[in-house]
Structure 1
């Protein structure tokens, strides 16, 4: 049998809730369409392995593995939610840079993205499952379930790398010298990763608690394995042992992978929440710095405009202008000193980044104007 024919693979986008009643009826049904064995495993998907380790799509959901009485094997993939990395242009110090944001893929307006996501997930999982199943042998279903759980747990590495990437971007954009619009995009992407990890943790927690839903076809394995996990559980079953089922080791490994997936997803959630709290503190600090710069700007304007206005009101503009003599220039000296003082303070206290360049340009322009006025006075005096 060719590898591509081992599993019939289908995919859909649906709700996270797993309906057990139809599956229970299938397990009770006799005939070739009845279900002999089944597993439901959590799904955390990333296309990073296929695309040269560059993650562009991430999805969360679950997989239904069914073995019919006829011997046919079916894999049904249900996507609960999906995300896509997109490049957007941001400007840092006036230079355009490409920046990636994590965007949720859903809704009728993104039908093409949903179809591309489903096609990517189906292609990669079908290849993964059939490569594992091509070795043949008995008890194929538990082994494939373990492979899918392990693959989902491995994807947490890609999620962690994304979090590191956005964390580094957050640290960079927090600096005044690199302040840009990317700050908001980073926080939004971190929130999306937090949602992603929360959903993955929920799926893994439910799968480990329900024993991959093996009780729908084999109650003894489910209750015995639960007794092995927690000896204080009150039931009539003995704890599971190595010889209970030939595939019990694969089942145990799959459950352990689900537990690891849950723990790692929860750790990522804690880390992201700490990052968001830090981002909130950084945002408050930036607002305080902006208020401080505004107060300084108002003070500089009061010096550069208020003092000259006061002297012009006292002596009259007609008495001081034009500056065609040194006497008038001496009377105008307080105005020049106030303008030069404001320019020096603006240059010295200029913030970093694009705003700081604007401050320095204004200060330099003020100095040039003052020098021009003095030069004009000296020129007219010599005439």
Structure 2
């Protein structure tokens, strides 16, 4: 009697396949195939392990799990959402000697399809790195690097499971899917490692840029404090104090102009992209400094 997996769900009771899910190590029963899944929902999870079947029983052993919550990180998994995790393309499951092979192939093919979702995770990380380089977001670089390392570990663990099953499975169809998982994950790991290396280089460059920016800001602060003092020493403040409105603009206009020129030069030479926010901040500092001098001039004896 031939049975079809409705919606590709091996948990369909009509199939007579008993499903058990465990965390950690499990005994191999029949065929062992890699089990790789990215769960859906509000918070995504990445599960890595093996599925063992003897044609009547399907044991899913989850070796490691990662959760996307504030960034990808390792977490314990309690074996929930079993029905969702065992979805794969519809297969006709015969009630004969090929039943074992068909079920093993279905699970292995589903794991191979999950590699495309893992590739999508890598694309997301590349987008985050691109946004950081273009300064389109303020994500902490340390968080991005940590996620890249976590995903690299997860992909490597999944590849290890595929390699382990290749030593045990002799069925050509199942072996083909296991080998494809091994090869495709190897490519993804290499790309993740290259991306991590690029981000590390960017981190070093960013640290140097931050130091240079600090030096420029220190120069701006020195100019903002030193130039007014120099101008006042050349003019002599006694002739202007205490301020009247007529004396105030004549005394403070050269100071404000000199500080503004110094700020524009420093902002123009500052590393990275200078935005309108930087110019507004500089304008606020100049206005604040001028305001302090103005108040001090009016209060001077």
Distance 1:158 1:75, change over 3 A: same
| Residue 76 (structure 1) aligned with residue 66 (structure 2) | no
Asked if residue 124 in structure 1 is aligned to residue 84 in structure 2, the reply is yes
Q: What TM-score, normalized to structure 1? A: 0.64
Match of 1:172 among 131, 148, 154: 131
Mapped contact 1:201–1:262 kept (Cα < 8 A): yes
Task: Check 1:66–1:138 CA distance in 2 against 1; reply closer, same or farther (3 A cut).
Answer: closer
Cα contact 1:346–1:363 (8 A) shared by 2: no
By how many angstroms is 1:340 displaced? 2.9
> Per-residue CA shift, 1:88-107, capped at 9, x if unaligned?
5xxxxxxxxxxxx223222x
Give how far 1:7 is off: 0.9
Residues 86-127 of structure 1, C-alpha deviation per residue, up to 9 Å, x if partnerless? 3x5xxxxxxxxxxxx223222xxxxxxx22xx122x213556
- Residue 54 of structure 2 aligns to a residue in which SS? strand
- When the two chains are superposed, the root-mean-square deviation of aligned CA atoms in Å is 3.6
Structure 1 gap ranges (5+): 24-37, 68-72, 89-100, 107-113, 213-221, 223-250, 378-383
Which residue among 14, 24, 27 is the counterpart of 1:14? Answer: 24
Counterpart-to-counterpart distance in 2, 1:6 and 1:314: 97
The 1-side partners of 2:85 and 2:291 are apart by 74
* C-alpha contact 2:86 2:107 (8 A) present in aligned 1: no
1:35 equivalent in structure 2: none
1:194 aligns with 2:152: yes
Contact 1:167 1:275 in 2 (8 A): yes
SS of the residue 1:43 aligns to: strand
Q: Tell me what 1:105 maps to.
A: 75
Aligned to 1:94: none
Deviations 1:43-82 (A, max 9, x none): 112235xx6xx98222110111125xxxxx1111110011
Answer whether contact 1:44 1:60 (CA < 8 A) is retained.
yes
1:185 paired with 2:143, answer: yes
| CA distance in structure 2 between the partners assigned to 1:59 and 1:295 by the alignment | 47
2:168 equivalent in structure 1: 211
Give the number of aligned pairs.
Answer: 286
Match of residue 26 from structure 1:
none
| 1:322 matched residue in structure 2 | 242
Higher gyration radius (CA): 1
Which secondary structure does the structure 1 equivalent of 2:52 belong to? strand
Within the candidate set 33, 37, 55, 1:41 is matched to 33
TM-score norm. by structure 2 comes to: 0.79
> Is contact 1:6-1:134 (8 Å) kept?
no
Task: Determine helix, strand or coil for the equivalent of 1:119.
Answer: coil
Residue 271 of structure 2 is aligned to residue 279 of structure 1: no
Q: Distance in 2 between matches of 1:126 and 1:274?
A: 32
Contact 1:55 1:158 in 2 (8 A): no
Residue 170 of structure 1, CA deviation: 1.1
